[in-house]
Chain A
Amino acid sequence: MRRASPLELFRVFFRIGLFTFGGGMAMIPLIEQELCGRLCLLREDQFISSIGLAQCAPGPIAGNLAVLLGYRAGGALGAAAALAGVATPAFLVILLIASQYQSWRELAWVGRALLGLRPAVVVLIAFAALRFGRMVLRGRLSLLIYGAALTALVVLRVHPALVVVVAGLAGLGQGWLEQRERRTVGVGDDGSTC
């Protein structure tokens, strides 16, 4: 994967920040399209694990994702540029509203546009989940983690950061088991040749 210039990352994340309504997760289809698709800056698996990691840091998911992905694609400068890019549209728009309008009721028409955005955001996120699921959910353990994590999030309302850490530990456990299996098999082979 090639290394991105800070300016390039700023521009991409500025555009993403401008079109992100309704939380960081709504941003994910946009980022995927731009960074993994159009610009070829990230592999999909790097992108997916970054989504999990973004939940393990405090603060807005959008900002954390910008830092994580900006760093992957363009180092420390890239991270700073991506963060500045994603925060600047929000900052400028709010500044405009705070200084120009007496009351948000004057902006009621925006609320109508947002009612149209809600179902769109649902479908966008669902499509991203499907696409990632097809890529990631292979093998029994990943399906098990997915099912357990979804239940924990939606039904039991466990905190996302906790879910991510436990899932990571499960992956760690599986890696350990696989390695031990490999070692046992290895010893057996050695024994037979002796």
Chain B
Amino acid sequence: MTMALLVDLAKAFLICGLLSFGGGYAMIPIVESELIVGRGWLTLATFTEIIAVAEMTPGPVAVNTATFVGYRVAGLAGSAVSTLAVLSVPVLVSGLLAWLVRRWGDFGPVSDFLRGVRPAACALLTAAAVTVGRAAPWEARSVLIGGLVALALLRRVNPLWVIAGSAVLGLLLF
């Protein structure tokens, strides 16, 4: 029974990993159809809780979700199996890309392709700033934090300290 459950978890999260192009949040609708409707492992309420927890903990949302669901369904073994499963397809694909770029990166057409990718990567970053910015609470205290962060970055403070500091400010101000 437990073994079958683990295999089923692995299968479900393999599919989640395979189908989640574009980051962890892209996985959410797939989790919904696979785990809630498909297998009845979770209620919508528990899933909402998982997303809330994933948002307030460090690390990729996909890993957070897989670990949480795996633990709730089949304990420690379940969480390990789900986490490995959700990462396996992405790892194979990006490993292949990494190998291709290292092997062929200096080859004319590939380096031309990468030269086109770079400005798009800048656009991805800008778009990410816009997306996060839309979700941020736009009040005086968050503008204050943003200003302090900009000041710290201009003075070349390590981003790790910037993040830790703004979390403390969040606790004090909100």
Contact = CB atoms under 8 A, between A and B. Distances in A.
A59 to B, nearest CB: 2
Nearest to A143: B119
B68 A116 contact: no
A79 B95 contact: yes
A52 B23 contact: no
A146 B119 contact: yes
Interface residues of B, number: 91
B18 to A, nearest CB: 6
B114 interface: yes
A91 B136 contact: no
Contacts of B76: 95
Contact of B24 (A60, A71, A120, A146): A60
A148 B64 CA distance: 33
Contacts of B124: 25, 51-52, 55, 149, 153, 160, 163-164
A168 B174 contact: no
Interface string B45-65: 000010011111111111110
Interface residues of A, number: 104
Interface stretch (A1-9, A15-23, A184-192): A15-23
A165 B153 CA distance: 32
A59 B125 contact: no
B35 to A, nearest CB: 15
B101 A49 contact: yes
Given A26-B132, A110-B56, A95 B122 contact: no
Contact of A103 (B49, B91, B136): B49
Nearest to B63: A90
A17 B130 CA distance: 22
A39 interface: no
B13 to A, nearest CB: 11
B149 A119 contact: yes
Interface of B: 17-25, 49, 52-64, 67-68, 71-72, 76, 79, 83, 86-87, 89-91, 93-95, 97-99, 101-102, 108-109, 111-130, 132-133, 135-137, 142-143, 145-146, 149-150, 153, 158-160, 162-164, 166-171, 173-174
5 contacts: A59-B86, A68-B94, A116-B142, A174-B112, A174-B115
